[in-house]
Amino acid sequence: MPHADPLAKKRYMKAWHRKNRERLSERRKQYYQKNREKLLAYCRQWRIDNEEKCRVGVTRYRHRNREAIRQRQREYVRKNPEKIRAYSEANREILYAKKKTKRRSPEYRITNRNASHRRRAMERSVISTATKEQIQRLLSRAKRCYYCSRPFGSKLRRTIDHIIAISNDGPHSIDNLLVACKSCNSAKRNKGTDFTASRFGVLPL
Task: Give the footprint of Zn ion on this chain (CB under 5 A).
Answer: 145, 147-148, 181, 184
Residues found in the chain: 205
Task: Judge whether 148 and 188 are in contact, CB under 8 Å.
Answer: no
What's the closest the beta carbon of residue 200 comes to Zn ion, in angstroms?
8
Select 126 or 147, whichever has its Cβ closest to Zn ion.
147
∠ CA 62-133-68 to the nearest 5 degrees?
20
Shortest Cβ 147–Zn ion spacing (Å): 5
Q: How far apart are CA 61 and CA 81, in angstroms?
A: 27
Give the number of other Cβ atoms within 10 Å of residue 95's Cβ. Answer: 13
Between 110 and 187, whose beta carbon lies closer to Zn ion? Answer: 187
For residue 179, the minimal CB distance to Zn ion (Å) is 9
Q: What are the residue ranges of helices labelled H in 80-189?
A: 81-90, 92-104, 106-123, 132-141, 182-188
d(CA 129, CA 135): 11
Position 139: which residue type? L
Q: Which is nearer to Zn ion, 177 or 184 (CB)?
A: 184
Contact in structure between 201 and 193 (CB atoms under 8 Å): no
Considering the complex, what minimum distance in angstroms separates the CB of residue 197 from Zn ion? 15
Residue 60 vs 182, nearer CB to Zn ion: 182
Smallest distance from the beta carbon of 164 to Zn ion, in angstroms? 18
Contact 172, 160 (CB under 8 A): no
Q: Whose Cβ is closer to Zn ion: residue 166's or residue 184's?
A: 184
